[in-house]
Structure 1
Amino acid sequence: MINCFRNFSDVITKYILGIVFSVFFILALVVKAMYSFDDSPYFTFNKWYDFVFIVLCGTGVFLMLKNREFIQNHINFKVMFCIYMVIAICYIYLVPLTPFSDMEHMYKAAVEIATGNVRNVYQDPYWTTFGGNIYLAFFYGIILIPLPKSIISIKVVNALMVYIFIYLISDIAKEYGVKYNKLLFIFLLFFSPLFLYINHIYFDIPFLFFEILALYIYKKQKNLIYMSIPLVFACFLRLNGFIILLAVLLSIVFKKEKIKKAKMMEMIFLCIIVFFIPTGVKKTIDMLYVPDVLPSYPALNQVYIGLNEKEFGFMDNDLSYERNWDDIINRVEDYGPTKLTKIIGKKLFGYGHREHIKLRDMHLEVMYQMS
């Protein structure tokens, strides 16, 4: 039974996902997802400068592949760290992106937390709508305690986390037999969406950092207890951190060798730690700092919003304190399979572009104003 499931999962990952991503790649040569300043997504055809960018990127990838032996033999991680951090700090200073939208509230809350004024955070009405984001504010707030209470500090920390998890990815790739792992390292180091995100204060960078660190520890040490430490932080920031936990547990179950009692106990202990510690810390924060009168939206709002047709699953602020499963079921029945498939397809295709385009446009606006 396990062998059948393993073979089926191999087919899914190797062929079906390959077909899906190939289709998306072909579509991306013609159409791109955009994000307007009124916070709404839309699609448009690629312009001439998009094709120029594609040619430049293709040329860059070709040159990297052609010189892969040189890159693999001569790239030094310490030297690249210095170069990357200099470029990142120059970028942060030269493009002083003022926090906007969620970032603005996150930054202000982190400063309040770092200076010990936690209760002041909830004077901002933002937290009545997006109360779950407060845990990220606590993460950055704690980091800011020994650092200057500046937006620059957070962005430099972001750059450090990005460099570290890119290095870890390249090392994991090497463990899995990738011969030119430094080629992957260089590609990720200057992958523009990832680089732009160091100027962005949201879940993505710290969450990725802890998820990849957890995988790195598991691959290197094969110790689930050590792995639980970064995984606790990842699940504290976002619940979908449990996906990595599930993936690791399944990889152990699907191995051909029999699971020993000690390993089984590690697996159980890992589940307990990763579930109870983040939940306990969140409950403690809520109990100590969240005002009793502060209303909160049910988590089902996110599912309901994720199925909206107008913005194909992106945030449309159709929130309700009374949201329940009946609302979701009614929406699914009303849309039907055809419309749902279109929404999900648009969302999958557009999501890879969304934040990159949004951030790019914001940066271009800042540079235009500075010029």
Structure 2
Amino acid sequence: MTTDTGGQLYGYDLVHALDEFGEPIRGKRKINEEQAEIVREIFEYYAEGRKLKHICDDLNRRGIDSPKGGKWAPSSLVGSFVRQTGMLRQTLYNGVVTFNKMQYRKHPENGKRLSIMRPEKEWITVPIPELTMIDDATFAKVQKALDERSSKHLQRKMMPALMTEEEKRETSIRRSKEWRRKQAVTKKRANALFGGKLYCGEHNQKITATYAKHYSCPVKGCANRNLHYDEIIKLVLDAVAELDEAKIIEHFESEEIQQVRAHHAREIERLTQHLEDLRASINKVIDALGSDARSTEIRAFFDDKAEQIQRRKLDIAHHKRELAGSTPPRKLENIIQRHQNLVANLRAWSRDPEAVACMRQIIDRLTLDTASQKTGKAMCTVDFDLQSIISTNKRP
């Protein structure tokens, strides 16, 4: 968010003072403690994953005035993703004032002021630690959440008009898959942890319920028939309990994931350079256009460049999210601990709705093998959705 050194900002009071020459000092502020508490609350709530509407509704119910004196609205908190505005993006709350984000030119057609976002490398930042309200960790967490939520919203809104038919088809398939994966439990009926995910290791057929608490492979004569729920759930919980840090590290160090990371890193670099080139071409045209240029040509040029820039920004945001999703988490021990807590809850009550919902999201497939001559007992193996394990355990 561009900081105007002389403007009023929620959470601060302007200090009227004169310099040594008797001139007013612009932009001098001090923290307004009452408003600062509201700012900290907003940042903490958003970092926890609360929706903007819910945060605003809560502030309005409590009769807290917005920065402009009226009711709070999501737009005042999140601002514009493209122009990087909004209270939650205000760097001064983190003790840093940011200048030079925008440059202004006259539109060659109508004479109106035209604002253009400068490249981030041209921004100027100045630390002012005495005005810090939000700690570094919370501010960084909020910025990451803003980028993810804002770019996803823009993609849902704008991408259909920018995507090819092949991209639309792939997006539809991916969303359908994600929707099916999330159908783990409803308020009306708590599914079995393994319901719809358990397969016979010998016949590769889905093992389904036949009558009360009994499940069977559909192939007659299979050893995986007439199995009791208690027998299956014990095998399943033993299998899911085997997840450890080594398995997650192995996943992220695999050649496949390394190739994915390299691909997204290359795309971010390529698209960022393309974005810079587009901005440079706009600046050159603004400088070079003469008064004899036809207005239709000018509009067509700017419309085309604006669409290209928007598409590049959305593409960069997409690749950044994918790159982050293929990056090993910092605190694996916390993820494993939360996973083991879910297992413990399910051992105590295998129909615990919350634990079942969380666990089903991270299981792709369960395979039940009949008793072998070597072990003398049946075994269950699990194929985890490791990406879902990471995202599920990152939630507050």
TM-score (norm 2): 0.22
Going by fraction, where is helix more abundant, 1 or 2? 1
Name the structure, 1 or 2, with higher relative contact order (CA <8 Å, separation 6+): 1
TM-score (norm 1): 0.23
